[in-house]
Amino acid sequence: MKPRDRLVWLGGTPMDGEDARGPVLVLHHGDGTTRVPGTETERDWLAEVLDSARPDGEPLHFADARDAFPGDWGRFQKRWQRVRRSGLVGI
């Protein structure tokens, strides 16, 4: 994903949930559901990003979202890739 790519979320509204590891953000999308673990702050950030990335919203660029991440981006990248496979695209 390039820094100036506009993020567009094609899935449903994220929901709080639980799994064996603890609290997760549950993403509903065309292929089912994806559970994304993280701290409460990380999950809140991701929910905000996905809400802002709705197709009818104001443009949100990848660099802006990444710069606002409340933690170590390197440690979050694998989870970010799961979100991308779940319907977050860059255009």
**Cβ atoms within 10 Å, residue 57:** 13
Q: Please name the residue ranges forming H helices in the chain.
A: 40-52, 62-67, 73-85
Paired tokens of 36: 């994304």
- Return d(Cα 59, Cα 44) in angstroms, integer: 19
Pairing outcome for strands 22-29 and 15-19: antiparallel
Sketch the domain layout of the chain as residue ranges.
7-90
pLDDT in tens, 71-84: 999 999 999 999 99
Q: Say what the pLDDT of residue 23 is.
A: 97
pLDDT in tens, 53-72: 999 989 999 999 999 999 99
- Return d(Cα 22, Cα 84) in angstroms, integer: 22
The pTM for the full model equals 0.94
pLDDT in tens, 2-49: 999 999 999 999 999 999 989 999 999 999 999 999 999 999 999 999
Angle at alpha carbon of residue 46, lines to 41 and 48, rounded to 5°: 95
